[in-house]
């Protein structure tokens, strides 16, 4: 009987040391994740359009009912600078809101629309 009791007492010791190893691995993984986030910051024009415009103007620019008009015919009439201006400042009275992207990102969206629509 006393021998069995000792064996049971010995058991809880090993999970403790295992726990420390797991904690070290955890912090390494967290550092890796931070680095990844920095690299992903640069979004393509397609990704930016999808995130900021497609809900109102549709995936192909032809518009969404009650949200935004078909902009494909308008794009041909507007210069890059005029479109960037519309993106950054919005258009109409509360019709199209100013979109929160940088001027550089707005230009990337224009490039995407000119290539794809």
Which residue, 44 or 55, has its beta carbon nearer to ligand HEC? Answer: 55
Q: How near is the Cβ of 56 to ligand HEC at its closest, in Å? A: 3
Point out which residues bind ligand HEC (CB under 6 A). Answer: 52-53, 55-57, 67-69, 71, 74, 83, 86-87, 91-92, 95-97, 99, 109
Q: How near is the Cβ of 18 to ligand HEC at its closest, in Å? A: 51
What lies within 8 Å, CB to CB, of 48 at 6+ separation is 101, 105, 108, 109, 112
Distances (CA, A) of 81 to 88, 91, 93: 11, 14, 20
Q: How far apart are CA 54 and CA 1, in angstroms?
A: 74
Q: How near is the Cβ of 76 to ligand HEC at its closest, in Å? A: 11
Q: How many CB atoms lie within 10 A of CB 14?
A: 9
Q: What are phi and psi of 64, to 5 degrees?
A: -130, 130
Which residue's C-beta sits nearest to ligand HEC? 92
Q: How near is the Cβ of 82 to ligand HEC at its closest, in Å? A: 8
Which residue, 23 or 76, has its beta carbon nearer to ligand HEC? Answer: 76
């Amino acid at each position: 009987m006393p021998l069995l009791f000792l064996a049971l007492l010995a058991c809880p010791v090993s999970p403790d040391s295992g726990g420390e190893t797991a904690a070290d691995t955890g912090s390494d993984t967290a550092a890796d994740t931070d680095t990844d986030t920095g690299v992903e910051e640069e979004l393509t024009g397609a990704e930016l359009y999808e995130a900021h415009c497609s809900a109102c103007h549709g995936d192909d620019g032809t518009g969404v009912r009650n949200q935004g008009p078909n902009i494909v015919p308008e794009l041909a009439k507007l210069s890059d600078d005029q479109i960037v201006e519309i993106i950054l400042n919005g258009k109409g009275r509360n019709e199209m809101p100013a979109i929160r992207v940088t001027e550089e990102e707005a230009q990337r969206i224009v490039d995407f629309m000119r290539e794809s629509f």
